[in-house]
Amino acid sequence: MRREKPNGCDQTQGVRDELLALAQQRSGSYLSEPDYVAEMAAIAWRWSPDLTVAASELDAAGYPGASVAALADVLDQWSETHNNWDLTPQEATDVLRH
């Protein structure tokens, strides 16, 4: 059975190229780069639908999908920050607290 790619993995949305560009900017630990949290918030909305599908598929195959579903819920909280490149790390984390 052929499956379609999930939306967030679609090359036409530029996700792959953007992730590769971000990865090349990495200097080391995420903890040494607090601004990365704000960058993640701006693009995290893209992965929530894919992770929701992955969680369902894990559950259907008899594997635990709850942790993947929980991550999808967290990333979905950042949907209001969709491509907002002006966020500060504080603003990005405040979204998760409300």
First to last CA, the chain: 41
Q: Is 80 within a domain?
A: yes
- Classify residue 94 by its DSSP letter: H
pLDDT tens across 26-58, in order?
Answer: 667 766 777 888 888 888 888 899 999 999 999
Q: Is 12 within a domain?
A: no
pTM exceeds 0.85, yes or no: no
Q: Is 23 within a domain?
A: no
Q: Is 26 within a domain?
A: no
Higher pLDDT, 33 or 5: 33
> Looking at the 3D structure of the chain, how many domains does it have?
1
Q: Is 10 within a domain?
A: no
Q: State the Cα angle at 74 between 70 and 77, rounded to 5°.
A: 140
CA 73 – CA 67 distance, rounded (Å): 10
* Domain coverage including residue 39: 33-97
pLDDT score at 58: 94
Q: Is 21 within a domain?
A: no
